[in-house]
């Protein structure tokens, strides 16, 4: 049995905004019955160009239904420009997280939203972008690359959890690995570029890396981390929760937090704990 | 909330009588059957009595029963014994719908130099016997076909397969984990070499199984260790569980008739009720060739995990062949082998009953499930009714 959060369960049992909006301003349909999940999202704007109504129809498991329901709730009241910024992680976070095998449900929501906005702008059906890599689930190289970049995916299994690619006959596993490798081979270039970061850019990137990656990892073990200050290349942090009392916390700090920040932000960073 | 348990092909309740039989072997008679003192020796006699009971259930000789830790161990033991005793033969025949306990081992063997032939089934889940016969060869070491399928409940023609293998020097093994205790299983009448069964599928405890090995069949142990089980399975006997398996075997033997009359009638009532009260519901599996306790129904346009979790709200326990329930992305290999379209396979639900189920429970499910399906269909973009609600 899946470990769903109470919020996922609640949205599944009492889904919000089921159905289709009458004379919608945007409609997005993604997925298929063969794939195991599908979502049709429609929305309507009010006179102030804010989303007044958003509805969904979903074929899928509990987390697909909950993700769709959450998405409609998140959309209502937003402008298109605001709605556009919603990522799959946002949908998962709104629900208090999803089991990693179910992250593709949140991606489904994001994809439907993107299509609906596309439709709203009169750009018609979004064309298939890129080359189909996974034939079982019809996933393109561009989609895989995007998921890898946006969610820092590292393995073929991760990719399968997020966009389903590779979850069928497994013949495309080599292709997927190549895409992952290609994404991370560009990392040195990115680091080069980051060397010229302004102080503000550097701090933002540190914060972003902490939020996106490091905090969730520590939280899994009941700990957490807070950014206190950045002084040149010195990153001052405070460890919270189980991390604060853990004997291995210095190891965590150096081997994980510092290593990760060096990789993602700048190789010169030094992480120090302030008590 | 009362639990309505209809997932007995997954596992069963330990019968309280079985538990009572087991209890003294933890704190009271905890001796080692291999010991020289009479305290341990008494335990050995209980293991022997349990062996008699398991043997009686499948019409074997007690000496033909080896106790193991589970159905999977029985399967692995049988398969390795078969291929070791025929080292020059590199071909195995099995079916496309085996349980992962054997399927994954054959997939592994296929990567290590064995040629594996997967016999297909038709849309009703019935084995293609012509295909099977055509693929027998001088190189065939082992034929391993389940007695009955865990998902569809379809029973395979084990006697017919045994006839086809007569005097060919090919080992015949059957994973009968789902069949034993539900339909009569007679190893002597059929004439196979090895058969696997599991305790927890027949109201015994988890963590114990048995392997039947025909007297005279070539055998080599899988677990190598002490002299237990006459050197055929090392490791101190799981006494309490073995005693439990013995008692459970005795019980289910006595319940076979009830299983094939009352439980069968309950299953039919459930099946008919659900098919009648839900549009676009399809039965998976040959109606007349099934285990008496199993029904597998596809509800089109909805997804199985969602159905299961909605039923969970009412305490109803069943299974699904949908992808989402397994953690994989593709629906059950059994339903796919039967050619059930993905669209229906994702919405498949398996109910498997036991002698504990009542008519009241069946009627409860027939009352609760159709509205769940209707509710989920109205959320589904594929359902014809959906979308029209607002207009």
The chain A residue lying nearest B319, using CA atoms, is A1
CB contact under 8 A, B301 and A33: yes
Give the pLDDT of residue A127.
66
CB contact under 8 A, A57 and B342: no
Q: Angle at CA B193, nearest 5°, toward B190 and B197?
A: 85
Indicate if B16-254 has the same CATH topology as B4-12+256-385: no
> Which CATH fold topology does B4-12+256-385 show?
3.90.1150
| Whether residue A105 sits in one domain with residue A155 | no
| Whether residue A116 sits in one domain with residue A19 | yes
How many domains is chain A partitioned into structurally? Answer: 3
pLDDT surpasses 50 at A179: yes
CB contact under 8 A, B346 and A33: yes
For B202-249, the pLDDT digits (tens) are 999 999 999 999 999 999 999 999 999 999 999 999 999 999 999 999
For A85-96, the pLDDT digits (tens) are 999 999 999 999
Give the pLDDT of residue B388.
32
C-alpha B306: how far from chain center: 25
Residues in chain B, total: 391
Q: The domain that contains A19 carries what CATH number?
A: 3.90.1010.10
Beta strands in chain A (DSSP E): 26-32, 37-45, 51-59, 132-134, 139-140, 223-231, 234-241, 270-273
| Whether residue A158 sits in one domain with residue A105 | no
| Whether residue A209 sits in one domain with residue A159 | no
Which of B305, B314, B323, B332 has the highest number of chain A CBs within 10 A, making it the mutation to test binding with A? B305
Give the pLDDT of residue A245.
67
Rounded to two decimals, the pTM is: 0.80
Most trustworthy range by pLDDT among A119-128, A132-141, B380-389: A132-141
Residue whose C-alpha is closest to residue B149's, from B374, B303, B335: B335
Residue B384 touches partner A, C-beta closer than 8 Å: no
CA distance A25 to A46: 10
| Whether residue A228 sits in one domain with residue A157 | no
Pick the CATH number of B16-254 from 3.30.830.10, 3.90.1170.50, 3.30.70.270, 3.40.640.10: 3.40.640.10
| Whether residue A239 sits in one domain with residue A267 | yes
CA distance A170 to B324: 17
Give the pLDDT of residue A36.
81
The chain A residue lying nearest B377, using CA atoms, is A59
Last residue of a domain, one of A97, A120, A143: A120
pLDDT surpasses 80 at A197: no
CA distance B298 to chain A (A): 14
Which of A18, A28, A59, A167 has the highest number of chain B CBs within 10 A, making it the mutation to test binding with B? A59
Q: Which residues of chain B have a CB within 8 Å of the CB of A59?
A: 301-303, 379-382
Q: Say if A144 falls within a structural domain.
A: yes
In the block, tokens 């007349």 appear at B288
Does residue A105 or residue A250 have the better pLDDT? A105
| Whether residue A269 sits in one domain with residue A202 | yes
pLDDT surpasses 90 at A259: no
Nearest to A164 among B329, B342, B343 (CB): B329
CA distance B69 to chain A (A): 24
Nearest to B390 among A20, A65, A136 (CB): A20
Give the pLDDT of residue B386.
43
Active-site residue, from A35, A119, A134, A172: A35
Token digits for B178? 């789902």
Q: Say if A192 falls within a structural domain.
A: no
Q: Say if A1 falls within a structural domain.
A: no
**B155 and B129 in contact (C-beta within 8 Å)?**
no
**Per-domain boundaries in chain B:** 4-12+256-385, 16-254
Does residue A194 or residue B73 have the better pLDDT? B73
For B167-197, the pLDDT digits (tens) are 999 999 999 999 999 999 999 999 999 999 9
**B295 and A126 in contact (C-beta within 8 Å)?**
no
CB contact under 8 A, A18 and B378: yes
Q: Say if A142 falls within a structural domain.
A: yes
Does residue B365 or residue A254 have the better pLDDT? B365
Domain that holds residue A33: 6-120
Give the pLDDT of residue B325.
62
CA distance B210 to B72: 10
CA distance B334 to B290: 15
Token digits for A264? 């993602």
Kindly write down the DSSP assignment for every residue of A39-64, as one continuous string: EEEEEEE-TTSBEEEEEEEEES-HHH
Q: Which residues of chain A have a CB within 8 Å of the CB of B380?
A: 57-59
Q: How many CB atoms lie within 10 A of CB B340?
A: 25
Residue whose C-alpha is closest to residue B298's, from B339, B357, B354: B339
**B274 and B281 in contact (C-beta within 8 Å)?**
yes
Residue whose C-alpha is closest to residue A58's, from A34, A83, A33: A33
Q: The domain that contains A150 carries what CATH number?
A: 1.10.10.1100
Which of B107, B318, B324, B340 has the highest number of chain A CBs within 10 A, making it the mutation to test binding with A? B324
Looking at residues A33-54, what average pLDDT do you find?
Answer: 91
Q: Which residues of chain A have a CB within 8 Å of the CB of B382?
A: 33, 38, 59
Q: The domain that contains A206 carries what CATH number?
A: 3.30.300.130
Q: What kind and span of H or E run contains B115?
A: strand B115-119
For B280-312, the pLDDT digits (tens) are 999 999 999 999 999 999 999 999 999 999 999
Q: Exposed, middle or buried, B227 (CB in 10 Å: 0-12/13-18/19+)? A: exposed
Beta strands in B331-382 (DSSP E): 348-352
| Whether residue A83 sits in one domain with residue A18 | yes
Q: Say if A22 falls within a structural domain.
A: yes
Q: Which residues of chain B have a CB within 8 Å of the CB of A101?
A: 327
Give residues with Cβ within 8 angstroms of B153, minimum separation 6.
Answer: B9, B178, B285, B290, B291, B293, B294, B295, B296, B352
Residue whose C-alpha is closest to residue B268's, from B357, B371, B180, B338: B357
Residue B390 touches partner A, C-beta closer than 8 Å: yes
Q: Say if A114 falls within a structural domain.
A: yes
Residue whose C-alpha is closest to residue A229's, from A202, A265, A195, A267: A202
Last residue of a domain, one of A65, A97, A120: A120
Question: A–B: how many Cβ contacts below 8 A?
Answer: 85
The chain A residue lying nearest B311, using CA atoms, is A13
């Amino acid at each position: 049995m899946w470990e769903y959060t109470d919020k996922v369960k609640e949205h599944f049992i009492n889904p919000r905004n089921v159905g289709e909006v009458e004379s919608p301003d945007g409609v997005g349909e993604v997925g298929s019955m063969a794939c195991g999940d599908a979502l049709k999202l429609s929305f309507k704007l009010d006179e102030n160009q804010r989303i007044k109504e958003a509805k969904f129809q979903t074929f899928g498991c509990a987390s697909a239904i909950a993700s769709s329901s959450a998405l409609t709730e998140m959309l209502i009241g937003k402008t298109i420009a605001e709605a556009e910024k919603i990522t799959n992680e946002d949908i998962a976070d709104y629900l208090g997280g999803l089991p990693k095998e179910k992250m593709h449900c949140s991606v489904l929501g994001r994809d439907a939203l993107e299509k609906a906005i596309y439709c709203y702008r009169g750009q018609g059906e979004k064309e298939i972008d890129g080359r189909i890599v996974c034939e079982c689930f019809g996933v393109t190289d561009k989609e895989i690359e995007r998921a890898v970049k946006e969610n820092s995916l590292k393995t073929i299994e991760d990719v399968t959890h997020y966009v389903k690619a590779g979850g069928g006959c497994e013949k495309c596993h080599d292709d997927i690995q190549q895409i992952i490798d290609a994404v991370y081979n560009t990392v040195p270039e990115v680091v080069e570029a980051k060397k010229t970061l302004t102080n503000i850019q550097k701090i933002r990137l540190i914060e972003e890396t902490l939020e996106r990656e490091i905090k969730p990892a520590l939280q899994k073990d009941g700990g957490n981390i807070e950014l206190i200050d950045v002084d040149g290349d010195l990153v001052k942090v405070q460890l919270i929760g189980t991390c604060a009392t853990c004997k291995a916390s210095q190891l965590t700090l150096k081997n994980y937090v510092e290593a990760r920040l060096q990789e993602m932000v700048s190789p010169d960073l030094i992480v120090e704990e302030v008590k | 909330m009362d639990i309505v348990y209809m997932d007995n092909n997954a596992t069963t309740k330990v019968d309280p009588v079985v538990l009572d039989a087991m209890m003294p072997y933890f704190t009271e008679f905890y001796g080692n059957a291999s010991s020289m003192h009479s305290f341990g020796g008494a335990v050995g006699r209980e293991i022997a009595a349990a062996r008699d009971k398991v043997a009686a259930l499948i019409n074997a000789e007690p000496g033909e029963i080896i106790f193991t830790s589970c159905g999977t161990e029985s399967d692995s033991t049988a398969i390795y014994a078969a291929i070791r005793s025929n080292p020059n033969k590199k071909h195995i025949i099995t079916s496309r719908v085996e349980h992962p306990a054997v399927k994954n081992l054959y997939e592994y063997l296929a990567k290590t130099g064995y040629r594996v032939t997967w016999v297909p089934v038709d849309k009703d889940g019935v084995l293609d016997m012509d295909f099977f016969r055509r693929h027998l060869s001088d190189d065939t070491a082992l034929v391993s076909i389940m007695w009955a399928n865990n998902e569809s409940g379809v029973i395979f023609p084990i006697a017919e397969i045994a006839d086809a293998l007569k005097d060919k020097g090919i080992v015949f093994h059957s994973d009968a984990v789902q069949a034993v205790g539900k339909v009569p299983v007679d190893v002597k009448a059929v004439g196979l070499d090895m058969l696997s069964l599991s305790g927890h599928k027949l109201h015994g405890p988890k963590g114990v199984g048995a392997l039947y090995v025909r007297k005279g069949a070539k055998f080599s142990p899988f677990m190598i260790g002490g002299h237990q089980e006459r050197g055929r399975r090392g490791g101190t006997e799981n006494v309490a569980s073995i005693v439990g398996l013995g008692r459970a075997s005795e019980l289910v033997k006595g319940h076979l008739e009830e299983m094939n009359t009352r439980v069968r009638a309950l299953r039919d009532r459930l099946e008919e009720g659900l098919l009648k009260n839900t549009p676009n519901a399809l039965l998976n599996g040959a109606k007349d060739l099934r285990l008496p306790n199993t029904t597998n129904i596809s509800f089109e346009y909805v997804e199985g995990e969602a159905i299961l979790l909605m039923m969970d709200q009412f305490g109803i326990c069943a299974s699904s062949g949908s992808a989402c329930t397994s953690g994989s992305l593709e629906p059950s290999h059994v339903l796919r082998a039967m050619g059930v379209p993905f669209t229906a396979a994702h919405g498949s639900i398996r109910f498997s009953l036991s002698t504990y189920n009542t008519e009241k429970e069946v009627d409860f499910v027939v009352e609760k499930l159709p509205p769940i399906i209707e509710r989920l269909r109205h959320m589904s973009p594929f359902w014809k009714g959906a979308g029209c609600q607002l207009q």
